[in-house]
């Protein structure tokens, strides 16, 4: 047994040293990037929220369990890693005690002979085997060879995944062999409970040699597995808890992150593009948290399977966006960690690799990948390890827009209009109040201060004030607030775009300019509470303006209207005998978790029959307008709004409802195309939830 102990300890020390070397390499590579002290500070200040996230996401596997078959399988495999640590304590204890006393009958103090622990060890190991079988079946069923782009594993490193499954299988069968051999020699710590080990023992001879060989085999397999893990995508076993710890709360949705350089928020008045990081133009502009995202990606493809760009045959895969950066990072890592003098001695191929642009026709990320993103957030919502794909994309867009001036030409017109006219269409600010004249009651327009009796500022938004279809929603909301007795006022010509299109395009400087202008206007007017009809305005006002000192109580119109209906201040009376399917706007739903209120409103309208689309709520499908895509041509693949309308048509609706002016326009355009081809009935229309409500609240004339 002494020889067994020596061999076991030598193997362990060797492998642990090699694993530690790899971990040190990964740490050094991550710290080549930008610091992110705000991540650590947030985690420290919100320790309670972070502890809950660890319990719910890591140990509870909440996100993984959204996908029930694979989620349950992963739940048992993950817990097998945790619970079976006790088996390794027993294994190492046995070889050490065997070397000292000659009898390897070690048990963990206090709990080591408890039959419940023996049962739990065997049960979780057996469940792990079943989980492996489920994983194998899922991978075979969803093989890219059969499904092509339709497979969520398309683009993943498939051989590495199969190797890991094989190694986990080896860990489990050697575990049962070692335990069964110990049962036969009388060195097993449990008299009962370990039902699998005791069953296997019935077919084994009582052999001390077999026990020693099985122990070494089991420990050896585990050590090889450890070495493979730290060199593969399964590094997430260790990095996922860290990534969850330092991720944004409640998730990476809602506000876009502020631009930072050197760990500090960028001050545009003092920033120097030669010194400061303006977004991400090269790998070293990424923060250590971004590198942690690279290390943590499990290549599961959940993000890819939900991405509207990927589904409509565009080149963007959120998974591959992360993996391409990770693979590039590993290629250049040895040279990134060299001194300038050492680099100068490298060959031309190495220098070319180092100078390879992060984004470009010949870059790590193709521009079409970057500009396909709608910022819908489906990737972030589904990622089980809290990777923040949108933040990666926005950082790269910022560099392309502000430093390289490389972006779709149509977006340049939008930016110029925002800068000169304060709205994406370039229309006169005096037209912002034209819709007021179409109402049969007075709407107060703020001149200097909010009227004393006004409870809310109604933020109309550019679309709501200037786009004909969206103006119908604006007038409906105004009428409903008037009927309910809610006093409100509007800014009219004083209102400017919140800056959302500029920020989501990557023009952070213009966003700052528009936001500061609006914040000054709102503060001078004494605004405290805001209601907005556009989810993009709502998200920006509620979640992003606080970054610049603009703190207001902001609600979306569906939230306020649902509250007024609940209070009885609005009473739907007139039946609307229609079958209606509701489309969740991404910036209202996924980004801000407002799912119930629009549905609550429709549920109170007499006669309405609702029918959910297949993809709804947190798995809803984008209309294609987010991420400033509203102002960019969609030239690659199928149009996203067409895909969404095709799905809506499967419910055979009389009406499609939504709660966003961008969605209203995008879905309306796609439906009109369908009408022209005869694929949709001529009576089908897209309306805002507020339009349905006003139709039911107002008496039939």
What is the tens place of the pLDDT at every residue in 327-345?
A: 999 999 988 888 777 777 7
φ, ψ of residue 489 to 5 degrees: the values are -140, 165
Q: Tell me how far CA of residue 593 lies from CA of 60, 201, 587, 644, in angstroms.
A: 21, 54, 9, 20
Q: Given this model, what pLDDT does residue 669 score?
A: 96
Residue 550: exposure state from Cβ atoms within 10 A (0-12, 13-18, ≥19): buried
Secondary structure element (H or E) that encloses residue 261, with its range? strand 260-261
Cα dihedral: 207, 210, 215, 216 (round 10) = 140
Helix (H, G, I), strand (E, B) or coil at 245: helix
Q: Given this model, what pLDDT does residue 74 score?
A: 95
Residue 427: exposure state from Cβ atoms within 10 A (0-12, 13-18, ≥19): middle
Q: Tell me how far CA of residue 148 lies from CA of 314, 328, 514, 594, 640, in angstroms.
A: 14, 24, 44, 34, 20
Q: HSE on the CB side for 128, CA within 13 Å?
A: 26
φ, ψ of residue 425 to 5 degrees: the values are -95, -10
Closest CA to 448 of 537, 523, 545, 552: 523
Helix (H, G, I), strand (E, B) or coil at 297: coil
Q: HSE on the CB side for 385, CA within 13 Å?
A: 27
Q: Which residues of the chain have pLDDT under 70?
A: 700-701
Q: Given this model, what pLDDT does residue 68 score?
A: 86
Q: Given this model, what pLDDT does residue 107 score?
A: 87
Name every residue whose Cβ is closer than 8 Å to that of residue 145 and which is 6 or more positions away in sequence: none
Distance from first CA to last CA of the chain, Å, rounded?
96
Q: Tell me how far CA of residue 460 lies from CA of 179, 467, 518, in angstroms.
A: 70, 11, 13
pLDDT in tens, 208-248: 999 999 999 999 999 999 999 999 989 999 999 999 999 99
Q: Where are the alpha helices (DSSP H) in 208-307?
A: 208-230, 236-245, 288-296, 302-306
CATH of domain 569-697: 3.40.50
Q: Given this model, what pLDDT does residue 347 score?
A: 72
Cα dihedral: 474, 476, 477, 478 (round 10) = 80
Neighbours of 591 (CB within 10 A): 25
Q: Given this model, what pLDDT does residue 346 score?
A: 74
The length of the chain is: 701
Distance CA 172, CA 583 (A): 47
Q: Given this model, what pLDDT does residue 701 score?
A: 55
At CB < 8 A and 24+ separation, what contacts does 189-193 make?
189/90, 189/105, 189/106, 189/107, 189/108, 189/112, 189/113, 189/118, 190/113, 190/114, 190/115, 190/117, 190/118, 191/113, 191/115, 192/115, 192/118, 193/114, 193/115, 193/116, 193/117, 193/118, 193/119, 193/122
Topology of domain 411-565, CATH: Rossmann fold (3.40.50)
Q: Given this model, what pLDDT does residue 700 score?
A: 62
Secondary structure element (H or E) that encloses residue 396, with its range? helix 389-402
Cα dihedral: 597, 546, 30, 297 (round 10) = 10
Q: What sign does the CA torsion over 42, 45, 49, 55 have?
A: positive
**pTM (two decimals):** 0.94
Q: Residue 687's beta-bridge partner residues?
A: 657
Q: Given this model, what pLDDT does residue 328 score?
A: 94
């Amino acid at each position: 047994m002494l020889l067994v102990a020596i061999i076991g300890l030598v193997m362990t020390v060797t492998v642990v040293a090699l694993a530690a070397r790899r971990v040190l390499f990964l740490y050094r590579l991550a710290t080549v990037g930008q610091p992110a002290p705000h991540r650590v500070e947030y985690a420290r200040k919100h320790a309670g929220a972070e502890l809950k996230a660890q319990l719910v996401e890591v140990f509870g596997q909440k996100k993984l369990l959204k996908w029930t078959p694979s989620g349950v399988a992963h739940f048992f495999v993950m817990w097998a890693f945790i619970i079976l640590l006790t088996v390794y304590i027993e294994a190492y204890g046995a070889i050490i005690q065997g070397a000292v006393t000659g009898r390897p009958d070690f048990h963990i103090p206090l709990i080591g002979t408890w039959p419940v622990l023996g049962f739990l060890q065997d049960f979780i190991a057996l469940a792990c085997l079943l989980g492996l079988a489920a994983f194998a079946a899922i991978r075979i069923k969803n093989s890219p060879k059969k499904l092509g782009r339709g497979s969520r594993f398309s683009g993943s490193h498939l051989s590495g995944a199969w190797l890991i499954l094989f190694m986990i299988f080896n860990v489990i069968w050697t575990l049962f062999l070692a335990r069964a051999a110990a049962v036969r020699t009388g060195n097993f710590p449990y008299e009962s409970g370990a039902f699998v080990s005791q069953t296997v023992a019935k077919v084994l001879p009582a052999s001390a040699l077999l026990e020693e060989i099985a122990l070494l085999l089991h420990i050896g397999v585990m050590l090889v597995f450890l070495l493979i893990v730290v060199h593969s995508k399964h590094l997430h076993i260790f990095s996922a808890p860290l990534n969850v710890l330092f991720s944004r709360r409640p998730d990476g949705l809602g506000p876009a992150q502020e631009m930072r350089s050197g760990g500090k928020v960028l001050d545009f008045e003092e920033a120097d593009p030669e010194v400061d990081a303006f977004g991400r133009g090269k790998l070293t502009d990424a923060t250590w948290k971004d590198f942690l995202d690279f290390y943590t990606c499990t290549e599961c493809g959940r993000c890819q399977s939900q991405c509207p760009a990927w589904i409509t045959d565009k080149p963007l895969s959120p998974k591959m966006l992360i993996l391409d950066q990770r693979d590039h990072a590993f290629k250049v890592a040895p040279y990134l960690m060299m001194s300038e003098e050492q680099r100068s001695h490298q060959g031309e191929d190495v220098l070319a690799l180092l100078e390879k642009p992060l984004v470009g026709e010949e870059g790590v990320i193709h521009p079409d990948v970057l500009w396909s993103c709608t910022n819908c957030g489906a990737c972030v919502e589904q990622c089980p390890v809290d990777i923040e794909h949108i933040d990666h994309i926005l950082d790269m867009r910022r560099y392309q827009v502000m430093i390289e001036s490389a972006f779709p030409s149509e977006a340049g017109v939008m930016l110029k209009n925002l800068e000169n006219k304060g709205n994406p269409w370039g229309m006169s600010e005096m037209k912002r109040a034209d819709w007021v004249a179409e109402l049969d009651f007075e709407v107060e327009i703020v001149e200097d201060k909010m009227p004393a009796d006004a409870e809310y500022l109604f933020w109309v938004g550019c679309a709501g004030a200037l786009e004909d279809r969206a103006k119908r929603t604006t007038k409906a909301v105004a009428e409903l607030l008037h009927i309910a007795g809610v006093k409100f006022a509007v800014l009219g010509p004083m209102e400017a775009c919140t800056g959302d299109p500029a920020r989501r395009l990557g023009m952070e400087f213009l966003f700052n300019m528009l936001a500061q202008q609006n914040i000054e206007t709102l503060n001078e007017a004494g605004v405290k509470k805001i209601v907005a009809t556009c989810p993009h305005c709502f998200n920006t006002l509620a979640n992003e303006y606080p970054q610049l000192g603009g703190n207001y109580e902001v609600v979306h119109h569906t939230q306020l209207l649902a509250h007024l209906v609940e209070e009885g201040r609005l009473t739907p009376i007139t039946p609307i005998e229609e079958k209606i399917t509701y489309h969740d706007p991404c910036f209202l739903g996924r980004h801000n978790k407002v799912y119930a209120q629009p549905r609550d409103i429709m549920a109170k309208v007499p006669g309405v029959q609702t029918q959910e689309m297949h993809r709804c709520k947190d798995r809803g499908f984008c209309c294609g307008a987010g991420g400033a895509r509203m102002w960019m041509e969609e030239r690659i693949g199928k149009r996203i709004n067409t895909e969404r309308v095709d799905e809506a048509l499967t419910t055979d609706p009389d009406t499609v409802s939504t709660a966003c002016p961008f969605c209203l326009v995008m879905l309306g355009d796609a439906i009109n195309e369908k009408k022209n081809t005869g694929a949709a009935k001529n009576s089908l229309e897209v309306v805002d939830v507020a339009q349905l409500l006003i139709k039911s609240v107002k008496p039939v004339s």
